[in-house]
Structure 1
């Protein structure tokens, strides 16, 4: 697990909204291309790799999405500002006064009227993307050279960790991507998996689960395991019965979520493997939200799938927090499920 946290740190700092995952894919491919038996980038931009197992009679598909929630430039003004629209399920409340990056290169800031100048009604109003203007410090000639309609905009966030917790953007789902990269490293060091294993780094999950179905058609797996970052609601403003998951209680697995009921067989194998190896595991207790498992359920003849996820507090924000032990224990459980073939009967 030498590279596990390094991969996580590097990946979360890269820009990569839905449809513009290039920098993330390039980083991953550079690190793993010499460690896999096959790799393929499809028309959508999915990166699909294969590692041969001891037994080629079954195929396991692991998948994590490379894209993060973010924004796209929709209008450029003569005063050195521009407007944005959300890409994915962003929350306008967390965007006020944030530093943003255009294409990972140009720093900008979300303008906000000072509280001293707000009317009584304005103080009560909810933030609206239509009212945001993003300031670059450029004049009208320079901004039109450096900013184009459709350009990618992401939060300007750096990775930081202490002994117990890490904070960054895009743990959803660079956490899953880093798990897969490290598992490829482990296999390359001599830990051959029981069955042929495909690692699908997929695109456009945040805008409708777009890439996973295409990748699944290419692989045609027997089972799939979706690796994710998921909602943790353990903060004082939310009642405990609405927490979903809790930081420090281990990685999470799901029995269902919006649009799909997960495979009971795979769910049981995840739970049994965790118990047999004394790995703390929690269940996501709210079924809101969705993952690529929903797409897999209606792809081909229906692909039985399970989910393993890192609880993430303040998800889809510039400052998401995870518990380091949850993350590491999730990876340990992933190794057992894949290398020993426990994800299959």
Structure 2
């Protein structure tokens, strides 16, 4: 496996919904704590690290969110089942009959009525969370000892690769977290960055961009790069002119999205550095959805930001697909932007 992928499989398999990113943060910190000059965990749970550059007159912030979409336990029944509510945007249609894990440990299955027993109206209707019961196999007494209201529930998905494609949950945004860990490794090999560089592994993006503004107030960067997993949409049932990005066409950058128009200066630098280094880059062509760049635009005096993202097919589902070459090329572009300081030159 490519060395740039050494963190990605484990990162995607870790459980970490918004507000419960502990296992992800612990994994990241263990891997990078001896490679950075400073680090701290703030009150919200953001992990903020710093590596000193050749020039300390400017600050560059890289930012990726640790949380994934998922669920919380909202009710526990006497028959060994429980109910859930979504944390972040999860279409209930992708939850039917899936395997889930409670707190990353307890296996369960979303119950579904067999198709043979569905009425005509039931076959046409969209499922909703009120109708879901999740089965554990526990007795009435056992379930209430093992599962509590508010417990974290995530998809039970293993990372695997087939050719240039990888499948897992949580590429949004463990891909961005993995990119930052790769950059920290590169710097640790003796490649000192041009400017002081901060790596903010932030919380609660999926429930309203909560952690990024808090991190930015502490860092006060001159420029930020938001690293993400983003919608692909390139599947046969959707007309090509409605595709947001396309797997295999390189990492994606944004000129705007819901709630923000990105800094033209930063946008142009991303484009020019990609062109100079023959790195394939694509634009996200649909502007629905958002990233932490929206929060940064209204934090402090406004922070100029750019976005680099890995296109992800079937995003916010248990089986998201990325193209490994998009991931690798995104990392190569980051090296030029961050280590060489091109994002500010």
CA distance in 1, matches of 2:185, 2:326: 20
Mind listing any 5+ residue stretches in structure 1 that lack a counterpart?
Answer: none
* Equivalences for residues 221-236 of structure 1 within 5 A: 221-236=221-236
In structure 2, what is the equivalent of residue 178 of structure 1? 178
Deviations 1:102-148 (CA, angstroms, capped at 9, x unpaired) = 00000000000011111111111111011000000000100000100
Residues paired across the two proteins, number: 345
* Equivalences for residues 36-47 of structure 1 within 5 A: 36-47=36-47
* Equivalences for residues 208-219 of structure 1 within 5 A: 208-219=208-219
In structure 2, what is the equivalent of residue 245 of structure 1? 245
SS at match of 2:67: coil
CA distance in 2, matches of 1:89, 1:335: 32
CA distance in 2, matches of 1:120, 1:238: 26
CA distance in 2, matches of 1:238, 1:4: 32
SS at match of 1:57: strand
CA distance in 1, matches of 2:13, 2:220: 32
Q: Report the CA distance between 1:54 and its aligned residue.
A: 0.2
CA distance in 2, matches of 1:145, 1:60: 47
- Relative to the length of structure 2, the TM-score reads 0.99
Deviations 1:163-183 (CA, angstroms, capped at 9, x unpaired) = 210000000000000000010
CA distance in 2, matches of 1:298, 1:279: 31
Q: Give the direction of change, closer, same or farther, for the CA distance of 1:53–1:2 in structure 2 (3 Å limit).
A: farther
CA distance in 2, matches of 1:77, 1:170: 29
Q: Give the direction of change, closer, same or farther, for the CA distance of 1:85–1:146 in structure 2 (3 Å limit).
A: same
Is 1:57 matched up with 2:53?
no
SS at match of 2:6: helix
**Higher mean displacement: 113-122 or 203-212:** 113-122
Q: Report the CA distance between 1:3 and its aligned residue.
A: 4.0
CA distance in 2, matches of 1:118, 1:233: 30
CA distance in 2, matches of 1:217, 1:123: 50
In structure 2, what is the equivalent of residue 326 of structure 1? 326
Q: Give the direction of change, closer, same or farther, for the CA distance of 1:50–1:2 in structure 2 (3 Å limit).
A: farther
In structure 2, what is the equivalent of residue 67 of structure 1? 67
In structure 2, what is the equivalent of residue 76 of structure 1? 76
* Equivalences for residues 304-319 of structure 1 within 5 A: 304-319=304-319
Is 1:267 matched up with 2:267?
yes
In structure 1, what is the equivalent of residue 115 of structure 2? 115
**Higher mean displacement: 122-131 or 206-215:** 122-131
CA distance in 2, matches of 1:283, 1:5: 24
Is 1:103 matched up with 2:120?
no
Mind listing any 5+ residue stretches in structure 2 that lack a counterpart?
Answer: none
Deviations 1:286-308 (CA, angstroms, capped at 9, x unpaired) = 00000000000000000000000
CA distance in 2, matches of 1:72, 1:340: 43
In structure 2, what is the equivalent of residue 157 of structure 1? 157
CA distance in 1, matches of 2:2, 2:239: 38
In structure 1, what is the equivalent of residue 335 of structure 2? 335
CA distance in 2, matches of 1:229, 1:272: 22
Note the aligned Cα RMSD (angstroms): 0.8
CA distance in 2, matches of 1:283, 1:220: 28
In structure 1, what is the equivalent of residue 303 of structure 2? 303
In structure 2, what is the equivalent of residue 166 of structure 1? 166
SS at match of 2:26: helix
In structure 2, what is the equivalent of residue 129 of structure 1? 129
Moved over 3 A (4+): none
